[in-house]
């Protein structure tokens, strides 16, 4: 199974990708995480990427396609979950070609649908564990012990530099201008599945499992 999780910032792509990793042993390929690692490295490329991300704009296709290509070469026995990639038609075409070259077909593109008002609340309340990547929220998913990650016990909990209202407005604009066209693209390929992302995290996970089971039955 190779699946794409599509949806605006804060839809829950990362949250659901981590569940799929745990349940199915799939490999999560998050271009956002890869770019954050590049910015943390402090290289010239990382500094350039950081400026673009903080403005809420998209990094160039060339950079992100290169990052994905490297990871695909490493392979994954349980299949890949593409989280935050592709985000443009050029990226979608490139992914199609890369997977075809590896004889690894795409199984489904799953859109997680969430209202804009809820996205703002989710993004402005989000914090993550910098050590293990666990995702939390001030109101809906606080840590059990204040300031300590439930998953790994780290106290290194952080908020993302682009999780503010100005960047979020730009990220949403980028999503509707450049990424939402991919919904039609994958619909035309017969690969689009939709889940209600306004439901609880468990319910969204169950809906995604249903979409995946449907694909397994078909294949
Ligand atoms: P990226 O890191 O991919 O960010 P994003 O797409 O904006 O998505 P987020 O990570 O913000 O949200 P999410 O959908 O994963 O939600 P989450 O699960 O955390 O990209 C960042 C930047 O990198 C981009 O702006 C761009 O500059 C660059 N970039 C990345 N990929 C690129 C590409 N391919 N091309 C070009 N540039 C690229 O959940 C959010 C919150 O909601 C959490 O607090 C969570 O606990 C909570 N939550 C989740 N599910 C639920 C639920 N069902 N109910 C209630 N709360 C929930």
Beta bridge pairs of residue 193: 110
Query: Whole-angstrom Cα distance, residue 188 to residue 184?
Result: 6
Say if CB 57 and CB 170 are below 8 A apart. Answer: yes
Q: What are phi and psi of 138, to 5 degrees?
A: -50, -45
| pLDDT given for residue 215 in this prediction | 64
| pLDDT given for residue 22 in this prediction | 92
- Is 13 annotated in the active site? yes
Cis previous bond, 147, omega within 30: no
Q: What is the pLDDT of residues 130-188, one digit of tens each?
A: 999 899 999 999 999 999 999 999 999 999 989 998 999 999 999 999 999 999 999 99
C-alpha closest to that of 194 among 37, 5, 2 = 5
Q: Give the model's confidence band at 37: pLDDT under 50 very low, under 70 low, under 90 confident, else very high.
A: very high
Mean pLDDT for the stretch of residues 86-113? 95
Q: Give the model's confidence band at 218: pLDDT under 50 very low, under 70 low, under 90 confident, else very high.
A: low
Under 8 Å CB-to-CB from 218, ≥6 apart: which residues?
none
* pLDDT > 90? residue 194: yes
| pLDDT given for residue 216 in this prediction | 58
Beta bridge pairs of residue 198: none
Beta bridge pairs of residue 126: 137
Q: Give the model's confidence band at 35: pLDDT under 50 very low, under 70 low, under 90 confident, else very high.
A: very high
| pLDDT given for residue 213 in this prediction | 83
Query: Whole-angstrom Cα distance, residue 37 to residue 33?
Result: 6
Q: How far is CA 201 from CA 16, 19, 97, in A?
A: 8, 10, 33
Q: What is the pLDDT of residues 43-89, one digit of tens each?
A: 998 999 999 999 999 999 999 999 999 998 877 778 999 999 999 99
Mean pLDDT for the stretch of residues 108-123? 94
Burial class, 40, CB count within 10 angstroms (exposed 0-12 / middle 13-18 / buried 19+):
exposed
Residues with a CB atom less than 6 Å from ligand 1? 7, 9-15, 31-32, 35, 52-53, 56-59, 64, 84-85, 87, 91, 122, 126, 135-137, 140-141, 162, 171, 197, 200-201, 204
Q: What is the pLDDT of residues 7-18, one digit of tens each?
A: 999 999 999 999
| pLDDT given for residue 75 in this prediction | 72
- Is 101 annotated in the active site? no
* pLDDT > 60? residue 219: no
Q: Give the model's confidence band at 217: pLDDT under 50 very low, under 70 low, under 90 confident, else very high.
A: low
Distance between Cα 159 and ligand 1 center (Å): 12
| pLDDT given for residue 190 in this prediction | 94
């Amino acid at each position: 199974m190779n699946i794409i999780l599509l949806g605006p910032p804060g839809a829950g792509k990362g949250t659901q990708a981590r569940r799929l990793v745990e349940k199915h042993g799939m490999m999560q390929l998050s271009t956002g995480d890869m770019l954050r690692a590049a910015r943390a490295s402090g290289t010239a490329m990382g500094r350039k990427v950081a400026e673009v991300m903080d403005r809420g704009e998209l990094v160039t296709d060339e950079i992100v396609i290169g990052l994905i290509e490297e990871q695909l070469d490493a392979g994954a026995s349980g299949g890949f979950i593409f989280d935050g990639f592709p985000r443009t038609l050029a990226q979608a075409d490139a992914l199609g070609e890369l997977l075809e070259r590896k004889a690894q077909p795409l199984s489904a593109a799953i859109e997680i649908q969430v209202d804009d008002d809820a996205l703002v609340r989710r993004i402005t309340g989000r914090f993550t564990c910098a050590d293990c990547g666990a995702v939390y929220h001030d109101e809906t998913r606080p840590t059990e012990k204040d300031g300590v990650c439930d998953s790994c016990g780290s106290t290194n909990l952080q908020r993302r530099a682009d999780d503010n209202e100005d960047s979020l407005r730009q990220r949403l604009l980028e999503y509707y201008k450049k990424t939402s066209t991919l919904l039609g693209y994958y619909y035309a390929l017969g690969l689009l599945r939709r889940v209600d992302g306004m439901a609880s995290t468990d319910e969204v996970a169950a809906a995604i499992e249903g979409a995946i089971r449907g694909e397994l039955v078909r294949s």
